[in-house]
Amino acid sequence: MKQVIRLTINGEPYEVAVHHNRTLLEVLREDLMLTGTKEGCGMGACGACTVLVDGEAILACQTLALSVEGKDIRTVEGLAEGQELSPLQKAFIEHGAIQCGFCTPGMLMSATALLSKTPHPDEHEIKEAISGNLCRCTGYVKIVKAIKAMAEK
């Protein structure tokens, strides 16, 4: 049996009927076609599905959709202002912090959560904030540099 829930995602209201065991990731990708949030492992180990719920970075693959009703959800699609990339997205591009790009949405969301709470983090704080996000391509150096450059602006 499905239950209708109301979600606010990137400032937009949505109403969706979900089964009690559907994850936020499934609802975002399959029902609402917000495919920027990636499914990597489906077990909460890679961070590809990181989104913000009430400003906190959470793993959408481990979060039941029913549990976030009435909360403010932000996905990578909500970072840009219209067609203009966010300063953090631009910093990732400028510093070559993206290669295959699969981890990028999760990294951006973890970094966004960090910078909203700690506008000028040190390198240790940056590494701690992205420690739950796996990247196979960049070796993290450029990602850390991009976040650090953003924090210094």
- The secondary structure of 102-150 as a DSSP string is SSHHHHHHHHHHHHHH-SS--HHHHHHHTTT---SSS-SHHHHHHHHHH
Dihedral angle, C-alpha 139, 143, 148, 150, nearest 10 °:
170
Which listed CATH number (3.10.20.30, 3.90.550.10, 3.20.20.60, 3.40.390.10) goes with 2-77? 3.10.20.30
Cβ atoms of 125 and 117 within 8 Å: the answer is: no
Q: What is the pLDDT of residue 70?
A: 95
Helix, strand, or coil (residue 44): coil
pLDDT at 138: 77
One fold for 2-77 and 87-152: no
Q: Which fold has domain 87-152?
A: DNA polymerase; domain 1 (1.10.150)
Q: What is the model's pLDDT at position 87? A: 96
pLDDT of residue 6: 97
- DSSP-derived 3-state class of residue 85: coil
Instruction: Indicate the DSSP class of residue 25.
Output: H
Contacts of 131 (CB under 8 A, 6+ apart): none
pLDDT of residue 42: 93
Burial tier of 102 (Cβ tally within 10 Å: 0-12, 13-18, 19+): middle
* Residues 76, 89, 97, 123, CA torsion sign: negative
> What is the pLDDT at residue 18?
97
Predicted TM-score (pTM) of this structure: 0.95
What are the pLDDT tens digits along the chain (153 aa)?
Answer: 999 999 999 999 999 999 999 999 999 999 999 999 999 999 999 999 999 999 999 999 999 999 999 999 999 999 999 999 999 999 999 999 998 999 999 999 999 999 999 999 999 999 999 999 999 887 799 999 999 999 998
Cβ proximity of 28 and 59 under 8 Å: no
Sign of the Cα torsion 92, 106, 46, 31 reads: negative
Residue identified by tokens 């070559």 is 96
**Where exactly are the structural domains of the chain?**
2-77, 87-152
pLDDT at residue number 137:
87
Question: Quick one: pLDDT at residue 72?
Answer: 98
